Amino acid sequence: MIDTFKSVIDALSAPTVSFTLLTVFTPLVFPPTDWFDKVNRKLGIWRLWTKPGLWAGMGFLTFFFVVGYFDPNFHITLTKADNFPIVLMVYSMFFFIWLGMSKAYVNDERIEQGLKPTEYNDPDDKVLVWPDLVYIEFIALILFMVFLIVWSILVAAPLEEPANPASTPNPSKAPWYFLGLQEMLVYFDPWLAGIVFPMFIIFGMMAIPYIDMNPKGSGYYSFKERRIGICIFMYGWLILWLFLIVIGTFFRGPNWNFFGPFEYWDPHKVVPLNNVNLSEYFWVKMFNTGLPSNIMLRESIGFVVVFAYMFMFPIFLAKTWFKDLFEKIGPVRYTSLMLFGLSMFSLPIKMYLRWFFNLKYIIAIPEWFFNI
Amino acid sequence: MSEEKITPAAAVGASTQNSENEIGRRGFFKWLTVGWIAFGAATGGFFTIMIRFLFPNVLFEPPQTFKIGFPDDYAKNTVDIRFKKSFNVWVVRDEESIFALSTVCTHLGCTPNWLQTEGKFKCPCHGSGFRMTGINFEGPAPRPLERYKVSLSNDGQILVDKTKSFKWEKGEWENSESFLIV
């Protein structure tokens, strides 16, 4: 019984399977349109945001970690001092998303009935910053300090031997909060995954209030009033950041190979990963000729693809499906939204291209350190 | 109780000359100068320490040119990992030549491991893989490992010169200095 559970989880956690499932389920769990909402209601996914849903989710997570604790292979990764924050993160993320979503669903129903949201207060009924708010913050600060002190006393810092440039630990992992970035680095060149994308994440989040002109949902929880925004954000936050951290922590073993949580970390696991560049697919496999010696000619197909994706595709969308959006938010907001949005979705696209076509780089110019 | 109205010190119409410790025009500039000098000294000191920090007390740099023994010490089709730790090179001998590979992964600079059974160099950081020749074939590494200049010294030993590296993508592996025919 437990073994079946373990092998099912191992099979599901293969990147192609887990990533596809999560990508499909994100719009069902956070339905951006009426159609997804209907499917969500039909499948009963909305029950996740009720009290039984919370207990079911927490129960499943606890079952997973308890089984993992008694599994000889998962025990090693689970009980590492570095990985304790990830377990905390999984629980706290689920709880806080549940909290927000359950309150949002209550408010959605109230707004539908023409009532004010639950957070609405009489304008005369004020809450003072001092002492009301500052007191709560002060108590929270003290409790958190106590927790950090107890934690640092109980768990020794996971220090290793002095650094040696000649021997990199295998697997060599970034701090847990950077494991999402390290996962991105598997699919992109360092200048993109290490510099451009982190900057885009920061600037993109700063741009959200300027791009999103929806005045509703300010000061109270609500889902329906900004469901598209929530869905896209949750995909970026939950799948492209937190899930990649979980992958990097529990699922990446020696030689950065992929392992299910209950699998043995075999350092000699051989995974066929012969990578091919788009230029090689185009010239060698399609036309049966050698690569042209001219770099620009060699990579021309890659430039066309990147240009089409980043510049032609937004124009096409602005004329078709996003016509209303484009007219509503104007060219500057639309361009920023497309720049950040398409960059974000280039990560899952690149991951799938790597998994299914062994595609390494769309534009590959190692001569100039320019690879996309 | 008197009916006298109390005026707050900052209110409109409040007395502006109610204390002796008010700073005059001259005093203001005096304190401004003192403040700026203190600020400048603190920042200057801070940056001096910062810049000092960039120059390490001890710098361990192995010699860039070194001898690694005689060609006969190396068996055919093997990768020698003896000099990985001391000089950051792998010495590879294939069917007809000997060459020295850099141990720096071309993706993000980690040190890959030579896996004898799989016949490849595999990087533990992001999974880049290189064949025995140094050619990258899996993972995100964009280009092959670099090779260093190898030559025979007068006493018959192999001399590796790390100051000169050869990049495959620039066609430099054709250069006769990048390998040693044995």
A167 touches chain B (CB under 8 A): yes
State the Cα–Cα distance between residues A362 and B105, nearest whole angstrom: 21
Using a CB-CB distance cutoff of 8 angstroms, which residues of chain A are in contact with residue B106? 366
Q: Say yes or no for a CB contact (<8 Å) between A186 and B140.
A: yes
Q: What is the rounded (10 degree) CA torsion for B88, B93, B97, B99?
A: -10
Q: Give mean pLDDT, residues A128-147.
A: 93
Interface contact B113, partner A, CB < 8 A: yes
Q: Which of B59, B88, B112 is the last residue of a domain?
A: B59
Burial A33-70 (b: 16+ CB within 10 A, else e): eeebbeebeeeebbebbeeebbeebeeeeeeeeebbee
Look at residue B120 and give its three-state secondary structure. Answer: strand
Place B17 in a pLDDT band, splitting at 50, 70 and 90: low
- Mean pLDDT (whole number) for A271-296: 88
DSSP letter string over A250-304? Answer: IIB-GGG-B--TTS---TT-------B-HHIIIIIIIT--PPPSSHHHHTHHHHH
Q: Can you give the pLDDT at residue A181?
A: 92
Q: What is the pLDDT of residue B63?
A: 86
Q: Examine the domain organization and report whether B26 and B54 are in the same domain.
A: yes
Query: What's residue A169's pLDDT?
Result: 85
Q: Indicate yes or no: CB of A255 within 8 angstroms of CB of B113.
A: yes
The per-residue pLDDT for B8 is: 61
**Mean pLDDT (whole number) for A10-16:** 90
| pLDDT of res. A132 | 87
SS3 A165: coil
Largest distance between two CA atoms of chain A:
78
Tell me the two tokens of residue A27. 């719009």
Asked if A6 and A262 count as a contact pair (C-beta separation under 8 A), the reply is yes
Say yes or no to pLDDT of B6 above 60. yes
pLDDT of B79 higher than 90: yes
> Is the pLDDT confidence value at B120 over 80?
yes
Integer Cα distance of A76 and B20 in angstroms: 71
Q: Are B117 and B43 in a shared domain?
A: no
* Chain mean position to CA A86: 14
Q: In terms of residue numbers, what domain contains B23? A: 19-59
User: Nearest residue of A to residue B123 by CA position?
Assistant: A255
Whether residue A131 has a cis bond before it, omega within 30° of 0: yes
State how beta strands B120-122 and B180-181 pair. unpaired
Q: What is the pLDDT of residue A275?
A: 86
For B164, the token pair is: 């000169």
Put simply, the answer to whether B125 touches A369 (Cβ < 8 Å) is no
Q: How confident is the model at residue B5 (pLDDT cuts 50, 70, 90)?
A: low
In chain A, where the domains are located: 1-120+222-271, 174-219+275-372
Q: Residue B169 gets which letter from DSSP?
A: G
Is there a domain that residue B5 lies in?
no
Q: Verify that B85 and B51 share a domain, yes or no.
A: no
What average pLDDT does the segment A219-233 reach? 91
Which residue type sits at B163?
Answer: T
- Identify the band that residue B4 occupies on the pLDDT scale cut at 50, 70 and 90: low
**Residue B126 maps to a domain:** yes
Distances (CA, A) of A161 to A78, A82, A105: 21, 16, 51
B90 and B54 housed in the same domain = no
Number of domains in chain B: 2
Is the ipTM beyond the 0.90 threshold? no
Question: Alpha-carbon distance A314 to A323, whole Å?
Answer: 11
Are A357 and A364 within 8 A, CB to CB? no
- Over 70: is that where the pLDDT of A74 sits? yes
pLDDT score at A166: 73
Q: Is the pLDDT of residue B169 over 70?
A: yes
Average pLDDT, chain B: 87
Name the nearest CA neighbour of B146 among B99, B110, B182: B99
Confidence band of A274 (pLDDT split at 50, 70, 90): confident
Contacts of B143 in chain A (CB under 8 A): 366
Rounded mean pLDDT of chain A?
91
Tell me, yes or no, whether B44 and B98 share the same domain.
Answer: no
If you compute the radius of gyration of chain B from its CA atoms, what whole number of angstroms results? 34
Please answer whether residues A322 and A337 qualify as being in contact, where contact means their C-beta atoms are separated by less than 8 angstroms: no
Give mean pLDDT, residues A98-120.
90
Helical H runs in chain A?
2-12, 15-29, 34-43, 51-69, 72-78, 84-112, 134-154, 179-187, 190, 197-211, 227-234, 244-246, 278-279, 295-298, 300-307, 313-319, 323-357
Percent share of chain A, pLDDT over 90: 67
Based on the fold, state whether residues B28 and B111 are members of the same structural domain: no
What number of C-beta contacts closer than 8 Å exist between A and B?
85
A257 touches chain B (CB under 8 A): yes
- Neighboring chain A residues of B137 at a CB cutoff of 8 Å: 274-275
Residue in A188, A274, A369 nearest the CB of B140: A188
DSSP state for residue B90 in the 8-state scheme: E
Mean pLDDT of B57-79: 88
Q: Is residue B160 located within the same domain as residue B111?
A: yes
Q: Any CB–CB contact under 8 A between A190 and chain B?
A: yes
User: Is A164 within 8 Å of B170 when comparing Cβ atoms?
Assistant: no
User: Which SS3 state, helix, strand or coil, does residue A14 take?
Assistant: coil
Beta carbons of A275 and B139 less than 8 Å apart: yes
- Is the confidence at residue A124, as pLDDT, over 90? no
Dist. CA A82–CA A327, nearest whole Å: 49
**Predicted local distance difference test score (pLDDT) of residue B16:** 54
CB A363 within 8 A of CB A342: no
Report the distance separating Cα B180 and Cα B182, nearest Å: 6
Average pLDDT of span A77-87: 89
Tell whether B31 and B93 lie within a shared domain.
no
Residue B70 falls inside a structural domain: yes
Asked, for residue B53, whether it belongs to a domain, the answer is yes
Q: How confident is the model at residue A131 (pLDDT cuts 50, 70, 90)?
A: confident
Give the span between the Cα atoms of A57 and A67, in whole angstroms.
15
Question: Please, which pLDDT band fits residue B166 given cuts at 50, 70 and 90?
Answer: very high
Selected for mutation to probe chain A from B125, B130, B162 (highest A CB count within 10 Å) is B125
At residue A234, the pLDDT reads: 94
Q: What is the pLDDT of residue A47?
A: 92
Same domain for B140 and B89, yes or no, is yes
Is the per-residue pLDDT at A29 higher than 90?
yes
A169 contacts B140? CB cut-off 8 A:
no
The answer to whether residues B80 and B151 belong to one domain is yes
From A41-45, A79-83, A183-187, the region with the lowest mean pLDDT? A79-83
Q: Is residue B3 part of a domain?
A: no
Instruction: Give burial (CB, 10 Å; 0-12/13-18/19+) of A198.
Output: middle
B167 in a domain, yes or no?
A: yes
